[in-house]
């Protein structure tokens, strides 16, 4: 019992000392360390990256400010209402990013922020697994006024609000093309790259679907910032 009390006392003293050091400025904490701090997209995504992206989803001004602190170039697009339960608000076009995307994606600001973070991680993975850099990402689309899996009935897809993107392939500086359809699940450097890219996306976006989910996703990774979290 005495030992437990000593441990509690020691922990309390350590907390008081840390608080004093923070107050006096002896310890400097990066402003984006906590989820309520400003989102610094040029830093490596931290533990709360997903929470931060979801916060940007509800604060267009903060999201555009976060993008504006990066080297990327983007254009703010007009809000649109298209058909029943379709359309988009707070959408930007990524005109120039660290890794080129083809075609240039038009997606919600928060999705664009997530893609910027994901690109940084992709480049690190590619250099580790493939000894080359990613120079282009092929995407199949962001906006489409449809239901999930293009079903005749059911809930609207996040694509219906440009809050999703489908990623098909990655082009490397050495000329190789890594295809989700051809390379995913293989015991090769290309397959390991795709596995790691999928895992990194799961740490950032709310929903990540790939070939393991169903046959409709055999040729792409689906990434979105919908209302719940699921990764497969």
Q: Spell out the alpha helix ranges (H) of 102-158.
A: 109-129
223 and 200 in one domain? yes
Looking at every residue in the chain, the average pLDDT score rounds to 88
User: Number of structural domains, the chain?
Assistant: 2
CB neighbourhood size of 203 (10 A): 16
Instruction: CATH number of the domain at 166, please.
Output: 3.30.1380
118 and 151 in one domain? yes
Work out the pLDDT band at 117, boundaries 50, 70, 90: very high
Average pLDDT over residues 33-50: 83
Which tokens hold the place of 161? 């609000």
- Residue 7: per-residue pLDDT: 53
Which tokens hold the place of 181? 């359809």
4 and 91 in one domain? no
224 and 176 in one domain? yes
57 and 16 in one domain? no
Quick one: which of 68, 64, 96 has its CA closest to 77? Answer: 64
Q: What CA–CA distances, in Å, run from 20 to 25, 29, 143?
A: 8, 13, 50
CA distance 126 to 178: 10
CB neighbourhood size of 80 (10 A): 12
| pTM: predicted TM-score of the whole model, two decimal places | 0.84
Scanning the structure block, which residue is given the tokens 């008081």? 16
108 and 20 in one domain? no
25 and 89 in one domain? no
78 and 25 in one domain? no
CA distance 92 to 106: 6
User: Who has greater pLDDT, 70 or 7?
Assistant: 70
Scanning the structure block, which residue is given the tokens 């931060």? 52
Give the pLDDT confidence of 145-163 residue by residue, as tens digits. Answer: 998 888 888 889 999 999 9
Question: Are 180 and 211 within 8 A, CB to CB?
Answer: yes
106: containing domain:
39-231
- Residue 36: per-residue pLDDT: 64
């Amino acid at each position: 019992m005495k030992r437990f009390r000593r441990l509690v006392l020691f922990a309390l003293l350590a907390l008081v000392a840390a608080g004093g050091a923070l107050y006096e400025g002896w310890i400097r904490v990066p402003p984006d360390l906590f989820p309520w701090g400003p989102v610094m997209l040029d830093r490596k995504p931290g533990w709360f990256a997903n929470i931060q992206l979801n916060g940007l989803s509800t604060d267009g001004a903060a999201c555009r400010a976060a993008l504006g602190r990066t080297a990327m170039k983007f254009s703010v697009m007009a809000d649109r209402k298209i058909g029943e339960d379709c359309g988009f608000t707070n959408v930007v076009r990524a005109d120039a990013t660290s890794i080129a995307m083809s075609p240039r994606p038009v997606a919600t600001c928060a999705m664009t922020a997530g893609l910027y973070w994901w690109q940084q991680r992709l480049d690190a993975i590619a250099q580790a697994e493939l000894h080359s850099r990613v120079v282009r990402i092929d995407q199949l689309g962001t906006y489409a006024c449809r239901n999930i899996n293009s079903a005749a009935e059911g809930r609207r897809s996040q694509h219906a609000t440009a809050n999703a993107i489908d990623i098909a392939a990655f082009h490397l500086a050495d000329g190789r093309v890594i295809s989700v359809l051809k390379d995913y699940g293989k015991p090769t450097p290309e397959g390991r790259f795709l596995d790691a890219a999928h895992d990194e996306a799961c740490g950032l976006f709310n929903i990540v679907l790939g070939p393991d989910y169903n046959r409709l996703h055999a040729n792409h990774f689906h990434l979105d910032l919908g209302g719940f979290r699921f990764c497969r």
